[in-house]
Amino acid sequence: MNRAIRNSIFEGLCWTSLIVTGALLMVLIGSIFWNGFQAVSFDFVISASRNFGAEGGVLYQIIGSLLLISVAAGLSFPIALGTALYKSEYLKNQYLQRVSDILIYGLNGIPSVVFGIFGLVLFVNILSTGISWFVGSIILGIMILPTLVLTTYQSINSIPHHYRESALALGMSKWQVSTKILLPMSIQGAFTGLLIGLARAIGETAPIMFIATAFSGAKIPGSPFEPVASLPTHILSLAQQASDPRSLENAWGASLILITLVGLFSLTAVIFRNKYKNSVAR
């Protein structure tokens, strides 16, 4: 078999994989939009759920989900910036670089349910915090931390080296180069990683199911040590009542809102990525 035939076969397999994957994605998203569009309305978005979610809307679930990921972002983003900057500019030992890579990629590969068990054992059982949205934010922040570190590290490394040399030649210290040159130029790439991480975190159920959220009755929390409602756990609860047509309809509506939020985060991440590429190219 000559090279041209092998290349044609390989190209055909790639196109087949792309078409199959795209078709599955379109079927999934199309099903959510088709079924969810009938349930979603303005009243559905701004009203509270009733009767264990079978009636009413998802107001507190949206607020709870946004609260969880907002605090998770606030906790993890500064740590990710510092870690990426230290790894890029200060950690020169190759052995320690490899160890840090192993730790970061290892943390990124841990199943989300393991994060939930860790939070349950450490915070709920040992520290006796109870069901707390703040604990859930901590766990989500730990879960998205590797993504933030890696994207920020790549953003810093993509800055041409002559910027560093020019700044040092002008008499700037290493700290000034890091804070005045590298961080401002890489911040858009860091925000891209943050948005990608939040798009993942907002749809997670296992890490927060037993440590941060209540399946019904939760409203806006009055303290860090109260539970919240969230869209993923709300959908899970409604799916368990699938024999009830009203619960199933609300589950589709909540799914549509969740997938819309994920899409907004992902779209914003793409916009930030394109802006960052253009700024670096200039």
**Entry pTM:** 0.87
Are residues 45 and 32 part of one domain?
Answer: no
Are residues 48 and 17 part of one domain?
Answer: no
Beta-strand relationship, 55-56 and 49-50: antiparallel
Task: Give the residue from 61, 51, 23 showing the smallest Cα distance to 257.
Answer: 61
Are residues 145 and 9 part of one domain?
Answer: no
Whether residue 197 contacts residue 148, with contact meaning beta carbons closer than 8 Å, is answered with yes
Domain tally, the chain: 2
**What is the C-alpha to C-alpha distance for residues 56 and 54, in angstroms, rounded to an integer?**
7
pLDDT at 70: 94
Q: What are the DSSP E strand ranges found in the chain?
A: 49-50, 55-56
Tell me phi and psi for residue 50, to 5 degrees: -135, 160
Are residues 112 and 15 part of one domain?
Answer: no
Give first-to-last CA distance, the chain, whole Å: 46
Are residues 217 and 94 part of one domain?
Answer: yes
**What is the C-alpha to C-alpha distance for residues 199 and 147, in angstroms, rounded to an integer?**
11
Whether residue 47 contacts residue 59, with contact meaning beta carbons closer than 8 Å, is answered with yes
Are residues 17 and 79 part of one domain?
Answer: no
Are residues 113 and 4 part of one domain?
Answer: no
Task: Give the residue from 74, 32, 88 showing the smallest Cα distance to 263.
Answer: 32
Range of the domain at 2: 1-36
Structure tokens at 281: 């190219």
pLDDT at 281: 54
Whether residue 190 contacts residue 97, with contact meaning beta carbons closer than 8 Å, is answered with no
Are residues 73 and 12 part of one domain?
Answer: no
Are residues 132 and 5 part of one domain?
Answer: no
Are residues 9 and 92 part of one domain?
Answer: no
Whether residue 151 contacts residue 190, with contact meaning beta carbons closer than 8 Å, is answered with yes
Are residues 47 and 31 part of one domain?
Answer: no
Are residues 45 and 20 part of one domain?
Answer: no
Per-residue pLDDT of the chain (282 residues; tens, 9 = 90+): 577 778 888 888 999 999 999 999 899 888 888 888 888 888 888 888 888 777 888 999 999 999 999 999 999 999 999 999 999 888 888 898 899 999 999 998 898 899 999 999 999 899 988 899 999 999 999 999 999 999 999 888 888 888 888 888 888 888 888 888 888 888 888 888 888 889 889 988 888 988 998 887 778 888 899 999 999 999 988 888 777 788 888 889 999 999 999 988 888 888 877 776 665 555
Report the SS3 class of residue 228.
Answer: strand
**C-alpha pair distances (Å), 214 with each of 118, 130, 266:** 18, 12, 27
CATH number of the CATH domain containing 217? 1.10.3720.10
Return the DSSP state at 88.
I
**C-alpha pair distances (Å), 128 with each of 67, 120, 199, 232:** 22, 10, 30, 24
